[in-house]
Chains A and B, each alone.
Chain A
Amino acid sequence: MSVAPPHSSLLGKQSGNVARRKAQNVVMLSLCMLAAGLAILVLGLVLFFLLSKGFSSLHLSLFTRPPDNIDIKKGGMIQSIFGTLVLLGIASCLGLPLGILGGIYQLEAKGKFASTVRFFTDVLNGIPSIVIGIFAYAAIVYPVAQAHPGTGFSAYAGGFALGILMVPTVMRTTEEILRLVPFALREASLGLGATRWRTMWSVVLPAARGGVITGIMLALARIAGETAPLLFTILGSEYFSTHAVLGGHAHVPTLNAPIDALPLRIYNYSQDVNPDRQAQAWAGAVVLISLILVLSIAARFATRGNMQEEK
């Protein structure tokens, strides 16, 4: 009887093990909570600083007037807000068709080329935005300047750079979302005799609408805050660049002239020594964050609307 009773030893070991595992659990869980808490804390601090510094400088003139270089206090940044919206519009013209169609392609096509495309999309996603800016300068600004001296920096060039930045995000989210649409839906459509294109357009895409729109909104929110690609492409402007069309009955944005953007204006003003300019930079940051917040909330609503319709 030199052997210890097996039960008691096993039990003893087990109870120690359980305690250790429980402790491990508690430690890991608290680490996770700490990390999550820190992430929220950082977001909270950013918002707190932004609002405490920027809120007091939020004046109506910010939204109604361009910068005033004689009486700085009176100036606003309407042309920057306007410019950011125009740039988002141009970027969407380029980024959405390419991104959505590319996403569909990656979902539908198989084989070597498709995986190559996917690989390069991922590479594109990793290219720093400033490099895209230099590319847009070399591809658009410089050649245009050679052909028409005195021009080159334009909303087109900026929108082009931002559009390129949108493509990988939109492409990837579109593909992932479309993949979630039940295969049975497609089979039903194909079984009824619809072509693959008709199936995609009328069945799969509508079913995934909310997700696709969320992807678009996220991509827009991402590029709305980009500064680096704009440094090389839009130059910046103090003016509200529009011109008359249809014999003066309507005014449209001038796209082949320099334009302003919120992140660029914030960057420039933050470098300024003038306290009024600095205050305007903070206020501009609040406006930019609000714009991005609106886009994110719009994305939420798009998704929710879809789910209600599904019911």
Chain B
Amino acid sequence: MLNSFTQTWKGAVLAALGLALLGGTSAQAQQITGAGATFPAPLYLKWFQEYKNATGAQVNYQAIGSGGGIKNITAHAVDFGASDAPMNAAEMAAAPGILHIPTVAGAVVVAYNIPGVGPGIHLTSTIISDIFLGKITKWNDSQITRLSPGTKFPSTSIFPVHRSDGSGTTNIFTTYLGEVSPEWKDSVGAGKSVHWPNGLGGKGNAGVAQLIKQNDGGIGYIELSYAVTYNIPYAGVRNAKGKFIYPSVENTSIAAEGVTLPADFRKVITNTSAPEGYPITGFTFLLVYKNGTRPEVKKLLEWCLTTGQADAAAQQYAPLPPSVKRRALAAVASMR
């Protein structure tokens, strides 16, 4: 008994040491690590699987939210971050030399779950703002019903859902509301996470989508691809030219083409003046350092901006307009 005990003990210690020693050597160079936005995650995950099939390089992308993406690239804990919200001045100062590389544009849709009501109800910015401010509380409020004459609304209470984590989707949505509603701008403001006057928070686009689906009367904002994939009805929103636009890849592209981006790409495209453009859209960015980023990452970015663009539309994202794509490739080429 004594002997066998000592032997098991020795065996365990040796095995542990062996694991530690062998595991210590690295294969890190083969793997690229990224983290951030959930908004483009369905496309990114598909991209990176294709990229692996094409090149053999493993890209590990974890959708932890834009806020987490910015934090982790600032801490250098990942090879690239991903965010739909351009970094603000304070965040830029904490991460000197960071580049925003736009990859695709996406639409943030106002999705809902109203018993007996199908997709495509009409909403205006004022109504969306009032719903999320808690000023309109019933679906059969005359302000809502007036806009969609053919639809019969139940008296269900409105159940607003927002993001609980730091989110670029929230940034696009609140930037839009702040732009069109002075009351929103003064009381809630815009950003990756804001102080919501009411409603319930869900984690990630998926979390919000799930809450909308689970609650009768639910309304929330999610990326178009999530609404389409998970079959959640969403609204047509009145744009700056007064036209109700039912979000699609086409009218996201129109909005994206209509915008002039600054040299560092840091801009949200909301409230487009294009007559056919959807008003709540934004580019989503990969965040990398201009200096010191590994060449493998640079190669991956080039792939995303060229070959990858062909996949975008099928996943409900708008490919980059040609001028933006050219400039983004130039920014990638400037990395060293």
A interface, CB within 8 angstroms of B: 68-70, 86, 89-90, 92-93, 96, 141-142, 145-146, 149-153, 155, 201-202, 205-206, 209, 235-239, 241-245, 250, 252-258, 271-274, 309
Shortest Cβ distance from A73 into chain B, in angstroms? 14
Q: Which of A70, A93, A256, A272 contacts B49 (CB 8 A)?
A: A70
Tell me whether A252 and B22 are in contact (CB under 8 A).
Answer: yes
B206 / chain A contacts, CB cutoff of 8 Å? 271-274
B100 at the interface (CB under 8 A from A): no
B229 / chain A contacts, CB cutoff of 8 Å? 273-274
Since A150-B294, A206-B2, A250-B22 are in contact, a sample of 14 more A-B pairs with Cβ atoms closer than 8 Å, ordered by chain A residue number, is A68-B49, A69-B48, A69-B49, A142-B75, A146-B75, A150-B76, A150-B297, A152-B75, A209-B5, A238-B45, A252-B23, A256-B23, A258-B33, A273-B213
Tell me whether B62 and A202 are in contact (CB under 8 A).
Answer: no
Q: Which of B46, B207, B294 contacts A271 (CB 8 A)?
A: B207
A-B interface, 4 closest residue pairs, ranked by CB to CB distance from nearest: A243-B27, A255-B23, A69-B45, A152-B77
Can you give 22 A-B contacts (C-beta < 8 A)? A69-B46, A70-B46, A93-B16, A93-B19, A96-B12, A141-B77, A142-B75, A145-B77, A149-B289, A149-B292, A152-B77, A202-B6, A254-B28, A255-B23, A256-B24, A256-B28, A257-B31, A257-B60, A271-B206, A271-B210, A273-B213, A274-B206
B172 / chain A contacts, CB cutoff of 8 Å? none
Q: Which of B12, B25, B293 contacts A243 (CB 8 A)?
A: B25
Residue tally, chain B, CB below 8 Å to A: 52
Known: A89-B16, A150-B76. A273 touches B33 (CB 8 A): no
Q: Which of B6, B42, B60 contacts A235 (CB 8 A)?
A: B60
In the complex, what distance in Å separates the CA atom of A209 from the CA atom of B12? Answer: 14
Which of A142, A201, A202, A206 has most B Cβ within 10 Å?
A206
B28 / chain A contacts, CB cutoff of 8 Å? 151, 254, 256-257
B138 at the interface (CB under 8 A from A): no
B35 at the interface (CB under 8 A from A): yes
Tell me whether A271 and B203 are in contact (CB under 8 A).
Answer: yes
Tell me whether B20 and A93 are in contact (CB under 8 A).
Answer: yes
B191 at the interface (CB under 8 A from A): no
B230 / chain A contacts, CB cutoff of 8 Å? 273-274
Shortest Cβ distance from A236 into chain B, in angstroms? 5
In the complex, what distance in Å separates the CA atom of A122 from the CA atom of B136? Answer: 52
B105 at the interface (CB under 8 A from A): no
Tell me whether A243 and B26 are in contact (CB under 8 A).
Answer: yes
Nearest A residue to B15 by beta-carbon distance? A89
B1-50: which have CB < 8 Å to A? 1-2, 5-6, 12, 16, 19-20, 22-28, 30-33, 35, 42, 45-46, 48-50
Shortest Cβ distance from A255 into chain B, in angstroms? 4
Tell me whether A273 and B209 are in contact (CB under 8 A).
Answer: yes
Q: Which of B19, B33, B203, B213 contacts A150 (CB 8 A)?
A: B33
In the complex, what distance in Å separates the CA atom of A202 from the CA atom of B4? Answer: 11
B312 at the interface (CB under 8 A from A): no
In the complex, what distance in Å separates the CA atom of A209 from the CA atom of B293? Answer: 52
B188-233: which have CB < 8 Å to A? 202-204, 206-207, 209-210, 213, 226, 229-230
Q: Which of A68, A153, A237, A253 contacts B23 (CB 8 A)?
A: A253
Shortest Cβ distance from A129 into chain B, in angstroms? 19
Tell me whether A245 and B1 are in contact (CB under 8 A).
Answer: no
B19 / chain A contacts, CB cutoff of 8 Å? 89-90, 93, 252-253
In the complex, what distance in Å separates the CA atom of A237 from the CA atom of B207? Answer: 20
Q: Which of B5, B31, B61 contacts A241 (CB 8 A)?
A: B31
Known: A253-B23, A257-B33. A149 touches B76 (CB 8 A): yes
Shortest Cβ distance from A302 into chain B, in angstroms? 10
Tell me whether B33 and A92 are in contact (CB under 8 A).
Answer: no
B interface, CB within 8 angstroms of A: 1-2, 5-6, 12, 16, 19-20, 22-28, 30-33, 35, 42, 45-46, 48-50, 58, 60-62, 64, 75-79, 202-204, 206-207, 209-210, 213, 226, 229-230, 289, 292-294, 297
A235 / chain B contacts, CB cutoff of 8 Å? 33, 35, 60, 62, 64, 78
Tell me whether A255 and B31 are in contact (CB under 8 A).
Answer: no
Shortest Cβ distance from A67 into chain B, in angstroms? 8
Nearest B residue to A264 by beta-carbon distance? B62
Known: A271-B206, A273-B213, A274-B229. A257 touches B62 (CB 8 A): no
Shortest Cβ distance from A249 into chain B, in angstroms? 12
B48 / chain A contacts, CB cutoff of 8 Å? 69
Tell me whether A245 and B25 are in contact (CB under 8 A).
Answer: yes
Tell me whether A150 and B78 are in contact (CB under 8 A).
Answer: yes
In the complex, what distance in Å separates the CA atom of A206 from the CA atom of B5? Answer: 6
In the complex, what distance in Å separates the CA atom of A209 from the CA atom of B226? Answer: 54
Shortest Cβ distance from A12 into chain B, in angstroms? 64
A258 / chain B contacts, CB cutoff of 8 Å? 31, 33, 60, 62
Q: Which of B12, B33, B204, B289 contacts A153 (CB 8 A)?
A: B33
Tell me whether B75 and A241 are in contact (CB under 8 A).
Answer: no
B213 / chain A contacts, CB cutoff of 8 Å? 273
Shortest Cβ distance from B164 into chain A, in angstroms? 11
In the complex, what distance in Å separates the CA atom of A242 from the CA atom of B19? Answer: 12
B23 / chain A contacts, CB cutoff of 8 Å? 86, 155, 252-256
Shortest Cβ distance from A37 into chain B, in angstroms? 32
B61 / chain A contacts, CB cutoff of 8 Å? 238
A237 / chain B contacts, CB cutoff of 8 Å? 60, 62
In the complex, what distance in Å separates the CA atom of A96 from the CA atom of B226? Answer: 45
Tell me whether A142 and B27 are in contact (CB under 8 A).
Answer: no
In the complex, what distance in Å separates the CA atom of A255 from the CA atom of B6? Answer: 28
Shortest Cβ distance from A142 into chain B, in angstroms? 6
B79 / chain A contacts, CB cutoff of 8 Å? 149-150
Tell me whether A145 and B5 are in contact (CB under 8 A).
Answer: no
